[in-house]
């Protein structure tokens, strides 16, 4: 691959149409509830508004060691996944086949919310 000559600088981009906010938090082992063979917890998240649900985006990451992994995250037949509703983030930990998994224990998450700019 060969690089050509350097061109003239471009113009600056316009204003974006999304506002980003993020929060990192830890779910304690005692916060997971075993319901019908899977573990779940609900996190109050007022940044998840109707506008976010209909026109924005919510990205959830789980910390494993020093790395951040995007949800849904699966290893073998065990999965951590999320769902959202107005003001709430729902986290679920389950096994796809067979007996329920052990509790996920203490887990740190990072949530990035992209809200539309009106």
Q: In the structure, what pLDDT confidence band is assigned to residue 4 with cuts at 50, 70 and 90?
A: confident
Instruction: Look at the chain and count its residues.
Output: 118
Cβ-based neighbour number of residue 43 at 10 Å: 18
Q: What is the pLDDT of residues 30-80, one digit of tens each?
A: 999 998 889 999 999 999 999 999 999 999 999 999 999 999 999 999 999
CATH class of 18-116: mainly beta
Q: Is 81 exposed, middle or buried (0-12, 13-18, 19+ CB in 10 A)?
A: middle
Q: What is the pLDDT of residue 11?
A: 84
- For residue 105, the SS3 value is coil
Give the pLDDT of residue 1: 64
Q: What 3-state class would DSSP assign to 53?
A: helix
Q: Strand ranges (DSSP E) for the chain?
A: 18-27, 33-35, 38-44, 57-64, 67-70, 73-75, 78-85, 88-95, 107-116
pLDDT of residue 118 exceeding 80 = no
Domains in the chain: boundaries: 18-116
The upper half-sphere exposure of residue 10, i.e. CA atoms within 13 Å in the direction of its Cβ, equals 3
Question: How many other CB atoms sit within 10 Å of the CB of residue 68?
Answer: 13
Question: Mean pLDDT for the chain?
Answer: 93
CA distance 116 to 118: 6
**pLDDT the model gives residue 57:** 96
Q: With 90 as the cut, is the pLDDT of residue 29 above it?
A: yes
């Amino acid at each position: 691959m060969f690089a050509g000559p350097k061109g003239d600088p471009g113009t600056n981009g316009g204003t974006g149409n999304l506002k980003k906010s993020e929060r990192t938090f830890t779910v304690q082992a005692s916060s997971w509830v075993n319901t019908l063979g899977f573990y779940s917890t609900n996190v109050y998240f007022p940044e998840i508004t109707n506008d976010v649900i209909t026109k924005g985006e919510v990205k959830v990451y789980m910390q494993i060691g020093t790395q951040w992994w995007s949800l849904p995250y699966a290893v073998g037949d065990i999965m951590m996944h999320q769902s959202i509703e107005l003001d709430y983030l729902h986290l679920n930990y389950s096994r796809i086949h067979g007996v329920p998994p052990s509790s996920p224990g203490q887990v740190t998450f990072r949530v990035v919310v992209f809200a539309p700019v009106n």
